[in-house]
Amino acid sequence: MSHVAATDESGTSATRLANELATWQLKIKAEVKRALIRALLVVITSCLAALFMVVSVLPPFIHLLPDLVP
């Protein structure tokens, strides 16, 4: 009794299809991870830029702060 691998209509084996699916899943996970890291870097960079702008604009108005804080 011989073992015959399950195939789809085009003759591709189920094992090969499973391996291709696993490979695509790994590629997608890697791309999602890269995208999340890029988004995090954009957020960090934006926060640093906003902080720099506040620090660079604030000094001329520091003398007003005692009047603003009760």
Could you report the per-residue pLDDT of 10-58, keeping only the tens digit for each?
667 889 889 999 999 999 999 999 999 999 999 999 999 999 988 888 8
Q: Is residue 4 part of a domain?
A: no
Residue spans of beta strands (DSSP E) within 1-70: none
* Number of structural domains found in the chain: 1
- What residue numbers bound the domain in which 43 lies? 14-68
Model's pTM, two decimal places?
0.59
Q: How many CB atoms within 10 Å of residue 7?
A: 13
- Could you tell me if residue 1 is inside a domain? no
Is 9 part of any domain? no
Is 26 inside any structural domain? yes
Q: What backbone phi and psi angles, to 5 degrees, belong to 58? A: -70, -40
